[in-house]
């Protein structure tokens, strides 16, 4: 199990600055949402190699899985992202599902999502990439987002039936949506490729809210998970200080 940081951990600083800090702290890599803002990807890849840390996850260019009318645009954006990941050495692509389509039966929207994801799986065959679908909470941060519950999310992944399509389990979002975090994080481990962590309320660094991250991370570790756990959070203090405390007070006890 490795820890990653997300862009924005050091406000106002660019991706290369974040990579240097990741190397300094001994973390595994950077999650960068908009790869298309990097400019010359080959030049950036060379800088990654010099630093010794790289982008481990990025996002798709489109974020709608529930509307079949937008499927071809989504797939075109995914093709671009696959090529960007090839250049950058990135192995995870994160996607959200889009908002609920009012007046359209939920089952119909879910079926459209499954079909689009099956098409995505075909594009990803023969690569080392995983497309990661992320449920989001609708109560606080993302009103109207289609996919929120972990059980329904796991069911979608099972229907797609490909090792190239998995879940991001964001502990912060799932705590707000449904609680029961450890049981769900463990139960759905076979469908999960990546975890995000932040505390609740406030979405700040672990240790600032109600979640017992030592126990949560131990439970994830005990499933045999050996992927990335991303700190997708804000910080209540200087970022370096907060990361040192996280390593000393939480990570070292997992």
pLDDT in tens, the chain (254 residues): 999 999 999 999 999 999 999 999 999 999 999 999 999 999 999 999 999 999 999 999 999 999 999 999 999 999 999 999 999 999 999 999 999 999 999 999 999 999 999 999 999 999 999 999 999 999 999 999 999 999 999 999 999 999 999 999 999 999 999 999 999 999 999 999 999 999 999 999 999 999 999 999 999 999 999 999 999 999 999 999 999 999 999 999 99
- Alpha-carbon distance of 114 to 91, in angstroms, equals 22
Q: Is residue 126 part of a domain?
A: yes
Q: Give me the helices (H) in 33-105, please.
A: 41-51, 71-88
Q: Is residue 252 part of a domain?
A: no
Q: Is residue 69 part of a domain?
A: yes
Q: Is residue 248 part of a domain?
A: no
Residue 27: other Cβ atoms inside 10 A: 25
* Residues acting as catalytic residues: 134, 232
Q: Is residue 251 part of a domain?
A: no
Q: Is residue 247 part of a domain?
A: no
Q: Is residue 109 part of a domain?
A: yes
Q: Is residue 14 within a helix (H) or strand (E), and if so which, with residue range?
A: none
- Alpha-carbon distance of 24 to 173, in angstroms, equals 29
Question: How many domains does the structure of the chain reveal?
Answer: 1
Q: Is residue 145 part of a domain?
A: yes
Domain of residue 113: give its range: 2-241
């Amino acid at each position: 199990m490795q820890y990653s940081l997300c862009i924005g951990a050091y406000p106002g600083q660019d991706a290369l600055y974040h990579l240097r800090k990741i190397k300094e702290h001994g973390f595994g890599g950077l999650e960068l949402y908009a790869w298309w803002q990097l400019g010359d990807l080959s030049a950036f890849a060379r800088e990654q190699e010099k630093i010794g840390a790289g982008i481990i996850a990025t996002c798709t260019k489109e974020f709608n899985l529930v509307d079949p009318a937008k499927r071809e645009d989504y797939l075109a954006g995914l093709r671009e992202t696959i090529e960007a990941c090839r250049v950058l050495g990135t192995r995870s692509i994160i996607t959200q599902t889009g908002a609920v389509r009012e007046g359209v039966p939920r089952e119909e929207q879910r079926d459209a999502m499954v079909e689009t994801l099956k098409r995505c799986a075909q594009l990803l065959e023969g690569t080392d990439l995983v497309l990661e679908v992320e449920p989001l909470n609708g109560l606080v941060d993302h009103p109207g987002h289609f996919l929120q519950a972990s059980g329904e999310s796991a069911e979608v992944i099972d229907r797609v039936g490909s090792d190239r399509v998995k879940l991001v389990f964001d502990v912060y979002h799932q705590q707000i949506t449904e609680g029961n975090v450890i049981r769900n994080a463990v139960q759905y481990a076979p469908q999960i490729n990546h975890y995000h962590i932040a505390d609740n309320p406030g979405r700040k660094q672990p240790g600032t809210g109600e979640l017992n991250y030592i126990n949560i991370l131990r439970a994830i570790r005990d499933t045999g998970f050996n992927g990335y756990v991303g700190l997708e959070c804000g910080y209540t203090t200087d970022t370096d200080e907060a990361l040192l405390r996280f390593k000393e007070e939480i990570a070292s006890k997992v």
